[in-house]
Structure 1
Amino acid sequence: MGFPGTWMTESESMVYRVVPKCACSTIGQIMFYSDHGEFFDGDIHDSKDRMHKWSQDASQPLIEANVLGHRSYAFTCVRNPYTRILSSFFDKICGIQRNGRRYRGNLVPQIIQKYGIEVGGEDGKQEFDQIASFRRFLLFVRDTIRWRRPMEPDIHWSAMSGHISTFILNGGTYDSIFFTEKFNEGMQRVLDAVETPRPVDLAAIPRFNESEGHGPKRAHPVDAYFDDLSMHLMWEIYKRDFQLFRYDFENPANKMPLGEIDLAEVHAKLGD
Protein backbone atom coordinates (compact mmCIF):
# COMPACT_ATOMS: atom_id res chain seq x y z
CA MET A 1 0.00 0.00 0.00
CA GLY A 2 2.78 2.46 0.86
CA PHE A 3 2.01 6.12 1.48
CA PRO A 4 -0.42 7.45 -1.16
CA GLY A 5 -1.05 11.18 -1.05
CA THR A 6 2.21 11.85 0.78
CA TRP A 7 4.53 14.71 -0.20
CA MET A 8 8.03 15.39 1.15
CA THR A 9 10.42 18.27 0.61
CA GLU A 10 13.51 17.45 -1.43
CA SER A 11 15.63 18.30 1.62
CA GLU A 12 13.49 15.88 3.67
CA SER A 13 12.79 18.67 6.18
CA MET A 14 9.09 17.72 6.42
CA VAL A 15 6.52 15.16 5.32
CA TYR A 16 2.89 16.02 4.55
CA ARG A 17 -0.10 13.76 4.03
CA VAL A 18 -2.35 15.60 1.57
CA VAL A 19 -6.05 15.85 2.45
CA PRO A 20 -7.97 17.30 -0.53
CA LYS A 21 -9.87 20.55 0.06
CA CYS A 22 -7.80 21.34 3.19
CA ALA A 23 -5.37 24.09 2.06
CA CYS A 24 -3.24 21.51 0.22
CA SER A 25 -2.20 23.92 -2.57
CA THR A 26 -0.90 26.49 -0.08
CA ILE A 27 0.88 23.86 2.03
CA GLY A 28 2.52 22.34 -1.04
CA GLN A 29 3.76 25.74 -2.23
CA ILE A 30 5.15 26.54 1.25
CA MET A 31 7.05 23.23 1.21
CA PHE A 32 8.38 23.94 -2.28
CA TYR A 33 9.38 27.49 -1.28
CA SER A 34 11.11 26.30 1.89
CA ASP A 35 13.53 24.28 -0.27
CA HIS A 36 13.98 26.54 -3.29
CA GLY A 37 13.19 30.12 -2.26
CA GLU A 38 10.58 30.37 -5.02
CA PHE A 39 7.10 29.04 -5.69
CA PHE A 40 6.26 26.40 -8.24
CA ASP A 41 5.02 28.11 -11.39
CA GLY A 42 1.49 26.72 -11.69
CA ASP A 43 -0.64 24.44 -9.60
CA ILE A 44 1.63 22.56 -7.18
CA HIS A 45 -0.40 19.39 -7.87
CA ASP A 46 1.14 19.44 -11.37
CA SER A 47 4.78 19.53 -10.22
CA LYS A 48 6.85 16.54 -11.34
CA ASP A 49 10.20 17.30 -9.71
CA ARG A 50 11.92 19.39 -6.99
CA MET A 51 9.52 17.90 -4.44
CA HIS A 52 8.96 14.25 -3.58
CA LYS A 53 5.48 12.82 -4.09
CA TRP A 54 4.30 9.25 -3.66
CA SER A 55 2.81 9.44 -7.18
CA GLN A 56 6.37 9.79 -8.57
CA ASP A 57 8.03 6.37 -8.72
CA ALA A 58 11.50 7.66 -7.89
CA SER A 59 10.20 9.34 -4.73
CA GLN A 60 8.57 6.24 -3.24
CA PRO A 61 11.62 4.53 -1.67
CA LEU A 62 12.78 7.87 -0.21
CA ILE A 63 9.36 8.66 1.29
CA GLU A 64 8.96 5.13 2.59
CA ALA A 65 12.37 5.07 4.30
CA ASN A 66 11.78 8.48 5.82
CA VAL A 67 8.27 7.79 7.12
CA LEU A 68 9.01 4.31 8.49
CA GLY A 69 12.08 5.68 10.26
CA HIS A 70 10.14 8.80 11.35
CA ARG A 71 13.14 10.83 10.27
CA SER A 72 11.23 14.03 9.55
CA TYR A 73 8.39 16.03 11.06
CA ALA A 74 5.13 14.64 9.63
CA PHE A 75 1.88 16.58 9.55
CA THR A 76 -1.48 17.05 7.90
CA CYS A 77 -4.34 19.54 7.94
CA VAL A 78 -8.13 19.13 8.37
CA ARG A 79 -11.20 21.27 7.71
CA ASN A 80 -14.79 21.53 8.89
CA PRO A 81 -16.74 18.76 7.06
CA TYR A 82 -19.64 21.12 6.26
CA THR A 83 -17.47 23.72 4.49
CA ARG A 84 -15.29 21.03 2.90
CA ILE A 85 -18.20 19.26 1.19
CA LEU A 86 -19.68 22.58 0.02
CA SER A 87 -16.30 23.53 -1.45
CA SER A 88 -16.15 20.18 -3.26
CA PHE A 89 -19.61 20.75 -4.72
CA PHE A 90 -18.95 24.26 -6.05
CA ASP A 91 -15.46 23.48 -7.32
CA LYS A 92 -15.66 19.92 -8.65
CA ILE A 93 -19.33 19.58 -9.61
CA CYS A 94 -20.38 23.09 -10.64
CA GLY A 95 -16.99 24.37 -11.79
CA ILE A 96 -15.00 24.13 -14.99
CA GLN A 97 -11.56 22.67 -14.24
CA ARG A 98 -8.06 23.87 -15.16
CA ASN A 99 -8.18 21.89 -18.41
CA GLY A 100 -11.32 23.78 -19.49
CA ARG A 101 -13.54 20.74 -19.04
CA ARG A 102 -15.86 19.29 -16.44
CA TYR A 103 -14.32 17.31 -13.58
CA ARG A 104 -13.81 13.62 -14.41
CA GLY A 105 -15.41 13.72 -17.84
CA ASN A 106 -18.86 12.16 -17.67
CA LEU A 107 -19.24 12.38 -13.88
CA VAL A 108 -21.26 15.61 -13.88
CA PRO A 109 -23.65 14.64 -16.72
CA GLN A 110 -24.18 11.32 -14.93
CA ILE A 111 -25.26 12.90 -11.64
CA ILE A 112 -27.31 15.57 -13.43
CA GLN A 113 -29.23 12.73 -15.05
CA LYS A 114 -29.45 10.34 -12.07
CA TYR A 115 -29.90 12.80 -9.21
CA GLY A 116 -31.50 15.78 -10.94
CA ILE A 117 -28.92 18.32 -9.84
CA GLU A 118 -28.26 21.61 -11.63
CA VAL A 119 -24.78 23.10 -11.97
CA GLY A 120 -25.31 26.58 -13.40
CA GLY A 121 -25.35 25.72 -17.09
CA GLU A 122 -22.48 24.92 -19.45
CA ASP A 123 -20.08 27.41 -17.87
CA GLY A 124 -21.29 27.15 -14.26
CA LYS A 125 -22.18 30.85 -14.28
CA GLN A 126 -25.99 30.75 -14.57
CA GLU A 127 -28.35 31.04 -11.62
CA PHE A 128 -29.78 27.81 -10.20
CA ASP A 129 -31.22 26.51 -6.95
CA GLN A 130 -27.95 25.91 -5.14
CA ILE A 131 -29.54 24.50 -1.98
CA ALA A 132 -31.71 21.90 -3.73
CA SER A 133 -28.86 20.84 -6.02
CA PHE A 134 -26.36 20.59 -3.18
CA ARG A 135 -28.70 18.39 -1.13
CA ARG A 136 -29.13 16.05 -4.10
CA PHE A 137 -25.36 15.98 -4.54
CA LEU A 138 -25.07 14.94 -0.89
CA LEU A 139 -27.30 11.93 -1.61
CA PHE A 140 -24.94 11.01 -4.43
CA VAL A 141 -21.93 11.37 -2.10
CA ARG A 142 -23.59 9.09 0.46
CA ASP A 143 -24.32 6.50 -2.23
CA THR A 144 -20.70 6.49 -3.44
CA ILE A 145 -19.36 6.11 0.09
CA ARG A 146 -21.95 3.65 1.45
CA TRP A 147 -22.47 1.44 -1.59
CA ARG A 148 -19.73 2.55 -4.02
CA ARG A 149 -22.49 3.24 -6.55
CA PRO A 150 -22.82 4.71 -9.13
CA MET A 151 -19.02 5.03 -8.73
CA GLU A 152 -16.20 4.76 -6.20
CA PRO A 153 -16.01 7.69 -3.76
CA ASP A 154 -13.85 10.57 -4.96
CA ILE A 155 -10.86 11.80 -2.93
CA HIS A 156 -12.42 15.28 -2.65
CA TRP A 157 -15.42 14.06 -0.71
CA SER A 158 -14.24 10.85 0.93
CA ALA A 159 -13.76 11.31 4.69
CA MET A 160 -10.65 13.05 5.96
CA SER A 161 -10.14 10.26 8.50
CA GLY A 162 -9.84 7.80 5.59
CA HIS A 163 -7.03 9.81 3.98
CA ILE A 164 -5.27 10.35 7.28
CA SER A 165 -5.55 6.71 8.38
CA THR A 166 -3.57 5.21 5.46
CA PHE A 167 -0.45 7.00 6.68
CA ILE A 168 -0.85 5.52 10.18
CA LEU A 169 -1.91 2.03 9.07
CA ASN A 170 1.19 1.67 6.89
CA GLY A 171 3.61 2.70 9.61
CA GLY A 172 3.63 6.50 9.74
CA THR A 173 3.30 8.78 12.77
CA TYR A 174 1.96 12.35 12.74
CA ASP A 175 3.69 15.04 14.76
CA SER A 176 0.92 17.55 14.07
CA ILE A 177 -2.61 17.73 12.67
CA PHE A 178 -3.85 21.31 12.46
CA PHE A 179 -7.00 23.13 11.37
CA THR A 180 -7.47 24.95 8.05
CA GLU A 181 -9.53 27.44 10.10
CA LYS A 182 -6.42 28.23 12.19
CA PHE A 183 -4.00 27.86 9.32
CA ASN A 184 -1.29 30.36 10.27
CA GLU A 185 -1.08 29.09 13.82
CA GLY A 186 -0.87 25.44 12.72
CA MET A 187 1.54 25.95 9.83
CA GLN A 188 3.79 28.14 11.98
CA ARG A 189 4.00 25.31 14.51
CA VAL A 190 5.27 23.04 11.72
CA LEU A 191 7.81 25.59 10.49
CA ASP A 192 9.05 26.21 14.05
CA ALA A 193 9.67 22.48 14.48
CA VAL A 194 11.79 22.00 11.34
CA GLU A 195 14.90 23.45 9.75
CA THR A 196 14.32 24.55 6.18
CA PRO A 197 17.01 25.39 3.60
CA ARG A 198 15.26 28.72 2.94
CA PRO A 199 13.52 30.84 5.58
CA VAL A 200 9.73 31.09 5.31
CA ASP A 201 7.88 34.22 6.45
CA LEU A 202 4.36 32.86 6.73
CA ALA A 203 2.78 36.33 6.86
CA ALA A 204 4.22 37.09 3.42
CA ILE A 205 3.07 33.85 1.75
CA PRO A 206 0.02 34.25 -0.52
CA ARG A 207 -2.86 31.80 -0.32
CA PHE A 208 -2.94 29.42 -3.26
CA ASN A 209 -6.63 28.63 -3.64
CA GLU A 210 -6.45 26.73 -6.91
CA SER A 211 -10.18 25.97 -6.91
CA GLU A 212 -11.26 29.60 -6.56
CA GLY A 213 -13.11 30.94 -9.57
CA HIS A 214 -13.78 27.47 -11.04
CA GLY A 215 -17.47 27.50 -10.19
CA PRO A 216 -20.31 29.71 -9.00
CA LYS A 217 -20.01 31.65 -5.76
CA ARG A 218 -21.84 30.24 -2.76
CA ALA A 219 -25.01 32.36 -2.53
CA HIS A 220 -26.10 31.48 1.03
CA PRO A 221 -24.55 31.00 4.46
CA VAL A 222 -23.24 27.49 5.14
CA ASP A 223 -26.08 26.47 7.47
CA ALA A 224 -28.74 27.27 4.81
CA TYR A 225 -27.61 24.23 2.81
CA PHE A 226 -28.13 21.74 5.63
CA ASP A 227 -31.62 20.76 6.76
CA ASP A 228 -32.40 17.84 9.08
CA LEU A 229 -31.99 15.22 6.37
CA SER A 230 -28.72 16.73 5.09
CA MET A 231 -27.32 16.77 8.61
CA HIS A 232 -28.35 13.15 9.06
CA LEU A 233 -26.47 12.26 5.87
CA MET A 234 -23.44 14.27 7.02
CA TRP A 235 -23.34 12.31 10.28
CA GLU A 236 -23.67 9.02 8.39
CA ILE A 237 -20.75 9.92 6.11
CA TYR A 238 -18.46 12.01 8.32
CA LYS A 239 -19.21 10.98 11.91
CA ARG A 240 -15.57 10.06 12.57
CA ASP A 241 -14.32 13.36 11.11
CA PHE A 242 -16.60 15.39 13.39
CA GLN A 243 -15.61 13.38 16.45
CA LEU A 244 -11.86 12.95 15.95
CA PHE A 245 -11.18 16.47 14.69
CA ARG A 246 -13.53 18.17 17.16
CA TYR A 247 -15.86 19.93 14.74
CA ASP A 248 -19.35 21.10 15.69
CA PHE A 249 -21.86 18.72 14.11
CA GLU A 250 -24.88 20.34 15.82
CA ASN A 251 -24.28 23.78 14.32
CA PRO A 252 -23.28 23.97 10.62
CA ALA A 253 -22.90 27.75 11.02
CA ASN A 254 -19.93 27.26 13.37
CA LYS A 255 -16.94 26.44 11.22
CA MET A 256 -14.46 26.57 14.10
CA PRO A 257 -13.36 23.43 15.98
CA LEU A 258 -14.68 22.95 19.50
CA GLY A 259 -11.35 21.80 20.94
CA GLU A 260 -7.84 20.61 20.18
CA ILE A 261 -7.11 17.36 18.35
CA ASP A 262 -5.82 14.52 20.54
CA LEU A 263 -3.02 12.98 18.44
CA ALA A 264 -2.84 9.85 20.61
CA GLU A 265 -6.56 9.26 20.08
CA VAL A 266 -6.21 9.77 16.30
CA HIS A 267 -3.36 7.25 16.11
CA ALA A 268 -5.24 4.75 18.27
CA LYS A 269 -8.57 5.01 16.44
CA LEU A 270 -7.25 5.28 12.89
CA GLY A 271 -4.49 2.73 13.38
CA ASP A 272 -6.80 -0.23 13.96
Structure 2
Amino acid sequence: MNKLQAMEVFVQVVDAGGFTRAAENLQMPKATVSTLVQGLEQALAVKLLHRTTRQVHVTTDGAAYYERCLRILSDVKEAEESLSRNRASPSGRLRIDVSTGMASQLLIPALPSFFERYPDILLDMGCSDRPVDLIEENVDCAIRGGELPDSGLIARRLGLMEFVTCASPAYLERFGRPLHPQDLVAHRCVNYFSSKTGKVFEWDFIRDGETVKIAGQGNLAVNDSTAYHSAGMAGLGIVQMGTFTAEPYLASGQLELVLPGWTTAPLPISAVYPQNRHLSAKVRVFVEWAADLFLTMPTLAPR
Protein backbone atom coordinates (compact mmCIF):
# COMPACT_ATOMS: atom_id res chain seq x y z
CA MET A 1 0.00 0.00 0.00
CA ASN A 2 1.18 3.48 -0.89
CA LYS A 3 0.51 5.08 2.48
CA LEU A 4 0.80 8.65 1.18
CA GLN A 5 -1.77 7.92 -1.53
CA ALA A 6 -3.99 6.26 1.07
CA MET A 7 -3.78 9.37 3.25
CA GLU A 8 -4.81 11.55 0.30
CA VAL A 9 -7.75 9.26 -0.44
CA PHE A 10 -8.82 9.20 3.24
CA VAL A 11 -8.78 13.01 3.36
CA GLN A 12 -10.87 13.18 0.20
CA VAL A 13 -13.43 10.74 1.64
CA VAL A 14 -13.77 12.84 4.81
CA ASP A 15 -14.01 16.10 2.84
CA ALA A 16 -16.54 14.68 0.38
CA GLY A 17 -18.58 12.92 3.05
CA GLY A 18 -18.59 9.60 1.23
CA PHE A 19 -16.76 7.16 -1.03
CA THR A 20 -18.78 7.81 -4.18
CA ARG A 21 -18.15 11.53 -4.36
CA ALA A 22 -14.50 11.08 -3.30
CA ALA A 23 -14.01 8.57 -6.10
CA GLU A 24 -15.52 11.04 -8.58
CA ASN A 25 -13.27 13.85 -7.34
CA LEU A 26 -10.21 11.63 -7.52
CA GLN A 27 -11.28 10.02 -10.83
CA MET A 28 -10.68 6.61 -9.32
CA PRO A 29 -12.89 3.51 -9.09
CA LYS A 30 -14.98 3.48 -5.91
CA ALA A 31 -13.67 0.01 -5.09
CA THR A 32 -10.08 1.30 -5.18
CA VAL A 33 -10.96 4.17 -2.83
CA SER A 34 -12.62 1.75 -0.39
CA THR A 35 -9.69 -0.69 -0.56
CA LEU A 36 -7.12 2.02 0.18
CA VAL A 37 -9.02 3.28 3.22
CA GLN A 38 -9.53 -0.28 4.51
CA GLY A 39 -5.82 -0.94 4.08
CA LEU A 40 -5.04 2.20 6.02
CA GLU A 41 -7.32 1.11 8.87
CA GLN A 42 -5.71 -2.34 8.93
CA ALA A 43 -2.20 -0.86 8.99
CA LEU A 44 -3.14 1.48 11.85
CA ALA A 45 -5.27 -1.10 13.66
CA VAL A 46 -7.99 1.53 14.27
CA LYS A 47 -11.37 2.31 12.74
CA LEU A 48 -11.22 5.65 10.95
CA LEU A 49 -14.75 5.80 9.53
CA HIS A 50 -18.25 4.66 10.49
CA ARG A 51 -19.97 3.47 7.30
CA THR A 52 -23.71 3.27 6.70
CA THR A 53 -25.65 2.69 3.50
CA ARG A 54 -26.14 6.44 3.07
CA GLN A 55 -23.40 8.28 4.94
CA VAL A 56 -19.85 8.07 6.18
CA HIS A 57 -18.96 9.53 9.59
CA VAL A 58 -15.44 10.02 10.86
CA THR A 59 -14.57 8.40 14.21
CA THR A 60 -12.77 10.18 17.04
CA ASP A 61 -9.50 8.49 16.04
CA GLY A 62 -10.28 9.25 12.41
CA ALA A 63 -10.78 12.96 13.13
CA ALA A 64 -7.41 13.17 14.89
CA TYR A 65 -5.72 11.25 12.09
CA TYR A 66 -7.41 13.47 9.49
CA GLU A 67 -5.81 16.60 11.04
CA ARG A 68 -2.39 14.91 11.02
CA CYS A 69 -2.85 13.84 7.41
CA LEU A 70 -3.63 17.43 6.40
CA ARG A 71 -0.38 18.62 7.97
CA ILE A 72 1.70 15.82 6.45
CA LEU A 73 0.27 16.29 2.95
CA SER A 74 0.72 20.05 3.22
CA ASP A 75 4.37 19.62 4.27
CA VAL A 76 5.01 17.22 1.38
CA LYS A 77 3.47 19.64 -1.10
CA GLU A 78 5.46 22.56 0.28
CA ALA A 79 8.70 20.56 0.09
CA GLU A 80 7.96 19.76 -3.54
CA GLU A 81 7.11 23.38 -4.30
CA SER A 82 10.33 24.62 -2.74
CA LEU A 83 12.39 22.44 -5.09
CA SER A 84 10.27 22.75 -8.20
CA ARG A 85 10.74 25.10 -11.12
CA ASN A 86 7.39 26.73 -10.34
CA ARG A 87 8.51 28.48 -7.16
CA ALA A 88 7.60 31.83 -8.74
CA SER A 89 3.95 30.71 -8.93
CA PRO A 90 3.12 28.84 -5.70
CA SER A 91 -0.35 27.49 -5.07
CA GLY A 92 -2.46 26.08 -2.26
CA ARG A 93 -3.91 27.22 1.04
CA LEU A 94 -1.95 29.64 3.26
CA ARG A 95 -3.07 30.36 6.84
CA ILE A 96 -1.83 33.62 8.31
CA ASP A 97 -2.69 35.53 11.49
CA VAL A 98 -2.63 39.31 11.97
CA SER A 99 -4.13 41.91 14.29
CA THR A 100 -7.51 43.32 13.35
CA GLY A 101 -6.18 46.84 12.87
CA MET A 102 -3.26 45.75 10.70
CA ALA A 103 -5.57 43.57 8.63
CA SER A 104 -8.26 46.17 7.99
CA GLN A 105 -6.04 49.21 7.44
CA LEU A 106 -2.97 47.77 5.74
CA LEU A 107 -3.12 44.20 4.45
CA ILE A 108 -6.68 43.82 3.14
CA PRO A 109 -6.65 47.05 1.05
CA ALA A 110 -3.39 45.85 -0.55
CA LEU A 111 -4.46 42.22 -1.16
CA PRO A 112 -5.60 42.79 -4.78
CA SER A 113 -1.92 43.22 -5.73
CA PHE A 114 -1.02 40.01 -3.89
CA PHE A 115 -3.69 37.93 -5.65
CA GLU A 116 -2.81 39.49 -8.99
CA ARG A 117 0.74 38.25 -8.49
CA TYR A 118 -0.17 34.89 -6.87
CA PRO A 119 -3.65 33.94 -8.11
CA ASP A 120 -3.35 30.27 -7.09
CA ILE A 121 -2.84 30.93 -3.36
CA LEU A 122 -5.92 30.50 -1.15
CA LEU A 123 -5.47 32.81 1.84
CA ASP A 124 -7.03 32.12 5.24
CA MET A 125 -6.51 35.29 7.29
CA GLY A 126 -7.12 35.05 11.03
CA CYS A 127 -7.83 38.56 12.35
CA SER A 128 -7.44 38.91 16.10
CA ASP A 129 -5.31 40.70 18.68
CA ARG A 130 -5.09 37.41 20.58
CA PRO A 131 -1.61 35.85 20.39
CA VAL A 132 -1.84 32.49 18.64
CA ASP A 133 0.25 29.34 19.00
CA LEU A 134 1.41 28.87 15.42
CA ILE A 135 2.28 25.20 15.87
CA GLU A 136 -0.80 24.19 17.86
CA GLU A 137 -3.22 26.12 15.63
CA ASN A 138 -1.49 25.16 12.36
CA VAL A 139 -0.79 28.77 11.34
CA ASP A 140 1.78 29.17 8.58
CA CYS A 141 2.78 32.77 9.30
CA ALA A 142 1.81 35.59 11.66
CA ILE A 143 2.58 39.31 11.72
CA ARG A 144 3.30 40.37 15.29
CA GLY A 145 4.31 43.50 17.14
CA GLY A 146 6.86 43.73 19.95
CA GLU A 147 10.06 42.00 20.89
CA LEU A 148 9.74 38.30 20.19
CA PRO A 149 10.61 35.64 22.77
CA ASP A 150 13.06 32.90 21.90
CA SER A 151 10.36 30.46 20.84
CA GLY A 152 12.06 28.55 18.05
CA LEU A 153 10.15 30.57 15.43
CA ILE A 154 11.86 32.19 12.47
CA ALA A 155 11.30 35.95 12.35
CA ARG A 156 11.83 38.66 9.75
CA ARG A 157 11.62 42.30 10.75
CA LEU A 158 9.13 44.14 8.55
CA GLY A 159 9.09 47.59 10.08
CA LEU A 160 8.60 49.80 13.12
CA MET A 161 5.37 51.30 14.40
CA GLU A 162 5.48 54.68 16.09
CA PHE A 163 2.68 55.88 18.38
CA VAL A 164 0.81 59.13 18.94
CA THR A 165 -1.47 60.22 21.77
CA CYS A 166 -4.83 61.66 20.79
CA ALA A 167 -8.42 62.26 21.84
CA SER A 168 -11.74 63.22 20.31
CA PRO A 169 -12.69 66.91 20.08
CA ALA A 170 -15.68 66.22 22.35
CA TYR A 171 -13.43 64.79 25.07
CA LEU A 172 -10.99 67.70 24.88
CA GLU A 173 -13.80 70.25 25.02
CA ARG A 174 -15.20 68.63 28.15
CA PHE A 175 -12.03 67.70 30.05
CA GLY A 176 -9.31 69.93 28.64
CA ARG A 177 -5.98 69.15 27.00
CA PRO A 178 -3.02 67.62 28.95
CA LEU A 179 0.24 69.57 28.59
CA HIS A 180 2.60 66.98 30.12
CA PRO A 181 2.38 63.18 30.38
CA GLN A 182 2.02 63.51 34.16
CA ASP A 183 -1.23 65.39 33.55
CA LEU A 184 -2.77 62.13 32.34
CA VAL A 185 -3.25 60.95 35.93
CA ALA A 186 -6.06 63.51 36.14
CA HIS A 187 -7.59 62.43 32.83
CA ARG A 188 -9.58 59.48 31.56
CA CYS A 189 -7.49 57.14 29.44
CA VAL A 190 -8.71 54.16 27.43
CA ASN A 191 -6.42 51.30 28.38
CA TYR A 192 -5.42 48.22 26.42
CA PHE A 193 -4.90 44.88 28.17
CA SER A 194 -3.18 41.70 27.06
CA SER A 195 -5.47 38.89 25.90
CA LYS A 196 -2.91 36.42 27.22
CA THR A 197 -2.06 37.81 30.67
CA GLY A 198 -4.79 40.38 31.35
CA LYS A 199 -2.10 42.94 32.16
CA VAL A 200 -2.80 46.56 31.21
CA PHE A 201 -0.04 48.07 29.08
CA GLU A 202 1.69 51.20 30.37
CA TRP A 203 2.19 54.27 28.20
CA ASP A 204 5.69 55.61 27.70
CA PHE A 205 6.78 59.08 26.58
CA ILE A 206 10.18 60.37 25.48
CA ARG A 207 11.36 63.98 24.91
CA ASP A 208 14.85 65.49 25.06
CA GLY A 209 16.23 62.52 26.95
CA GLU A 210 13.38 62.52 29.50
CA THR A 211 11.38 59.30 29.77
CA VAL A 212 8.01 59.13 31.51
CA LYS A 213 5.95 55.98 32.10
CA ILE A 214 2.26 56.34 32.90
CA ALA A 215 -0.37 53.86 34.02
CA GLY A 216 -3.41 55.49 32.46
CA GLN A 217 -6.40 56.21 34.66
CA GLY A 218 -9.81 55.37 33.27
CA ASN A 219 -12.88 53.20 33.54
CA LEU A 220 -12.48 51.31 30.25
CA ALA A 221 -9.92 48.78 29.04
CA VAL A 222 -10.23 46.67 25.88
CA ASN A 223 -8.17 43.97 24.17
CA ASP A 224 -9.06 44.62 20.54
CA SER A 225 -7.56 47.37 18.40
CA THR A 226 -10.76 48.14 16.48
CA ALA A 227 -12.70 48.52 19.74
CA TYR A 228 -9.86 50.68 21.09
CA HIS A 229 -10.05 53.09 18.17
CA SER A 230 -13.85 53.28 18.44
CA ALA A 231 -13.60 54.09 22.15
CA GLY A 232 -11.28 56.99 21.42
CA MET A 233 -13.55 58.45 18.76
CA ALA A 234 -16.56 58.03 21.06
CA GLY A 235 -14.91 60.40 23.55
CA LEU A 236 -14.44 57.74 26.24
CA GLY A 237 -10.91 58.89 26.96
CA ILE A 238 -7.44 59.66 25.64
CA VAL A 239 -5.90 56.92 23.51
CA GLN A 240 -2.41 56.06 22.35
CA MET A 241 -2.34 54.34 18.97
CA GLY A 242 -0.02 53.66 16.07
CA THR A 243 0.71 56.71 13.92
CA PHE A 244 -0.27 54.77 10.81
CA THR A 245 -3.62 53.88 12.37
CA ALA A 246 -4.30 57.39 13.68
CA GLU A 247 -3.49 59.29 10.49
CA PRO A 248 -6.93 59.03 8.79
CA TYR A 249 -8.75 59.91 12.04
CA LEU A 250 -6.52 62.92 12.61
CA ALA A 251 -6.97 64.05 8.99
CA SER A 252 -10.76 63.81 9.26
CA GLY A 253 -10.88 65.64 12.59
CA GLN A 254 -12.38 62.67 14.45
CA LEU A 255 -9.30 62.72 16.69
CA GLU A 256 -6.87 65.48 17.68
CA LEU A 257 -3.23 65.15 18.60
CA VAL A 258 -2.32 65.76 22.24
CA LEU A 259 1.12 66.03 23.86
CA PRO A 260 2.89 67.00 20.60
CA GLY A 261 6.65 66.76 20.86
CA TRP A 262 6.46 63.68 23.06
CA THR A 263 7.32 60.45 21.23
CA THR A 264 7.18 56.81 22.25
CA ALA A 265 9.54 53.88 21.80
CA PRO A 266 8.71 52.41 18.37
CA LEU A 267 7.29 48.89 18.29
CA PRO A 268 9.06 46.40 15.98
CA ILE A 269 6.76 44.54 13.60
CA SER A 270 7.86 41.09 12.39
CA ALA A 271 6.65 38.22 10.27
CA VAL A 272 7.13 34.96 12.17
CA TYR A 273 6.69 31.37 11.07
CA PRO A 274 7.60 27.86 12.29
CA GLN A 275 10.93 26.41 11.25
CA ASN A 276 9.24 23.67 9.24
CA ARG A 277 7.72 26.38 7.02
CA HIS A 278 11.00 27.96 5.93
CA LEU A 279 10.99 25.96 2.68
CA SER A 280 7.39 26.86 1.87
CA ALA A 281 7.10 28.85 -1.32
CA LYS A 282 3.73 30.25 -0.19
CA VAL A 283 5.18 31.58 3.08
CA ARG A 284 8.25 32.95 1.31
CA VAL A 285 6.31 34.98 -1.26
CA PHE A 286 3.83 36.28 1.33
CA VAL A 287 6.60 37.50 3.64
CA GLU A 288 8.42 39.13 0.71
CA TRP A 289 5.18 40.83 -0.38
CA ALA A 290 4.49 42.06 3.16
CA ALA A 291 8.04 43.40 3.50
CA ASP A 292 7.66 45.35 0.24
CA LEU A 293 4.31 46.69 1.45
CA PHE A 294 5.81 48.02 4.69
CA LEU A 295 8.50 49.81 2.68
CA THR A 296 5.78 51.86 0.95
CA MET A 297 4.43 53.17 4.28
CA PRO A 298 6.63 55.97 5.71
CA THR A 299 5.28 55.55 9.26
CA LEU A 300 5.85 51.77 9.24
CA ALA A 301 9.00 51.28 7.16
CA PRO A 302 12.10 49.95 8.94
CA ARG A 303 14.87 52.39 9.73
Shorter-chain TM-score bucket reads under 0.3
The TM-score, its normalising length taken from structure 1, stands at 0.28
Which structure would you say has the larger Rg? 2
Greater share of residues in strand: 2
The TM-score, its normalising length taken from structure 2, stands at 0.26
